[in-house]
């Protein structure tokens, strides 16, 4: 039997989803709303079904799920897979509700008997789960599965003329508003400078922004910071925020709660700056500077300026 993957155009995490989907066996089909933005054949996709409908291209979760459902009826796959992004999880949630079948989110592996390994509780435990359904609906935990290529030819591209019900278009993106800090995407930045309660105030983020600017980095923060209104929710890293995987994650005044670590454990290196030598983040950090961040961060910034100018 085949496998169907939802590919979000330009979304690197979708390639990780395709790689896991190959482990389910059978030919891999993909649905992309618009140009997928990647040569999916190199990742083992045999057929890409492209839905080119202007009403869908800016995102409409129920309508995307309707497209998937029409392909499920046509192809009869054993599983539908998507990246565990906000959109991937939302569309699969719609699909599961439409088919009245279970949905296993945040999977990182599939066994030969079809059971899955899922990341639960913000990454603090792994669960082995059996999905009691002929159609398995699976999202792939971000940055936990490597996107690998295979020796395959190009994927066959087939246009999908999906029949879309107006009711499925009630929720859709109609406009994109850029945030003031939208220069470097938090999810894709190579370096993230993140601040927690220890930064002390919204104004305190001035020094975090200055350091981030010098490093060409994105600014992140903990949930305490967004709850206090010091930074927008779009900057939040963690279980209920963005999951990041930079080369370097600099955590300033962040204690390292499991819900925060769930969002930054994909980083190659973590540097913690914290006044508490017993802070939990030190267990996850590769490097640490113990001290007052209001002295340490400006000192790093000053050294960087000296080195550059």
Smallest separation (angstroms) from ligand FAD to the CB of 248? 18
Query: In terms of CB distance, is 64 or 249 closer to ligand FAD?
Result: 249
Phi, psi (rounded to 5 degrees) for 97: -65, -40
**Helix pair 61-75, 86-99: axis angle to 10 deg:** 60
Judged by CB under 6 A, the chain residues 172 through 211 that form the site for ligand FAD are: 196-198
Task: Check binding of 240 to ligand FAD (CB under 6 A).
Answer: yes
Q: Which stretch binds ligand FAD (CB under 6 A): 38-46, 66-74, 130-138, 234-242?
A: 234-242
* Count of Cβ atoms closer than 10 Å to residue 15 Cβ: 22
Helix (H) or strand (E) holding 270: strand 269-274
The count of residues interacting with ligand FAD (CB under 6 A) is 28
Smallest separation (angstroms) from ligand FAD to the CB of 23? 29
Binding string, 243-262, against ligand FAD, x = CB under 6 A? ----------xxx-x-xx--
Beta strand 269-274 with 248-252 is parallel
Instruction: Give the residue at shortest CB distance from ligand FAD.
Output: 238
Query: In terms of CB distance, is 75 or 228 closer to ligand FAD?
Result: 228
- Complete edge-to-edge strand list for the sheet that includes strand 45-51: 125-129, 116-120, 103-110, 136-140, 79-83, 3-7, 28-33, 45-51, 156-159
Task: Check binding of 236 to ligand FAD (CB under 6 A).
Answer: yes
Phi, psi (rounded to 5 degrees) for 285: -85, 145
Task: Check binding of 224 to ligand FAD (CB under 6 A).
Answer: yes
Smallest separation (angstroms) from ligand FAD to the CB of 271? 13
CA–CA gap between residue 28 and residue 48 (Å, rounded): 9
Smallest separation (angstroms) from ligand FAD to the CB of 253? 4
Task: Check binding of 89 to ligand FAD (CB under 6 A).
Answer: no
CA–CA gap between residue 37 and residue 45 (Å, rounded): 14
Whether 96 contacts 82, CB under 8 Å: no
Query: In terms of CB distance, is 32 or 236 closer to ligand FAD?
Result: 236
Judged by CB under 6 A, the chain residues 269 through 298 that form the site for ligand FAD are: 273-276, 279, 292-294
Helix (H) or strand (E) holding 144: none
Residues contributing to the site for ligand FAD (CB under 6 A): 196-198, 222-225, 236-241, 253-255, 257, 259-260, 263, 273-276, 279, 292-294
């Amino acid at each position: 039997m085949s496998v169907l993957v939802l590919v979000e155009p330009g979304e690197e995490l979708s390639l990780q989803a395709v790689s896991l989907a190959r482990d389910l066996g059978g030919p891999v089909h993909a649905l992309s709303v618009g140009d997928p933005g990647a040569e999916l054949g190199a990742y083992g996709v045999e057929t890409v079904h492209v839905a080119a409908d202007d009403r869908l291209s800016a995102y409409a979760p129920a309508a995307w799920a309707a497209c998937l459902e029409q392909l499920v009826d046509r192809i009869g796959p054993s599983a539908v897979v998507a990246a565990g992004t906000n959109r991937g999880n939302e569309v699969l949630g719609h699909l599961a509700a439409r088919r009245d079948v279970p949905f296993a989110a945040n999977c990182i592996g599939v066994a030969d008997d079809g059971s899955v390994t899922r990341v639960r509780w913000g990454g603090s435990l792994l669960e082995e789960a059996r999905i009691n359904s002929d159609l398995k609906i699976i999202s792939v935990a971000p940055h936990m599965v490597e996107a690998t290529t295979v020796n395959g030819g190009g994927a066959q591209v087939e246009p999908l003329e999906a029949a879309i019900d107006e009711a499925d278009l009630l929720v859709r993106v109609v406009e994109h508003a850029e945030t003031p800090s939208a220069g470097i995407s938090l999810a894709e930045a190579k370096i993230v400078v993140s601040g927690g309660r220890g930064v002390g105030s919204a104004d305190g983020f001035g020094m975090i922004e200055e350091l981030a600017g010098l490093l060409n980095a994105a600014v992140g923060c903990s949930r305490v910071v967004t709850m206090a209104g010091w930074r927008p929710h779009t900057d939040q890293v963690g279980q209920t925020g963005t999951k990041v995987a930079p080369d370097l994650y600099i955590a300033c005044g962040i204690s390292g709660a499991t819900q925060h670590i769930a969002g930054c454990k994909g980083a190659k290196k973590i540097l913690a700056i914290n006044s508490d030598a017993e802070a939990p983040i030190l267990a996850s950090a590769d490097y640490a500077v113990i001290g007052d961040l209001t002295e340490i961060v400006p000192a790093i910034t000053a050294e960087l300026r000296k080195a550059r100018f």
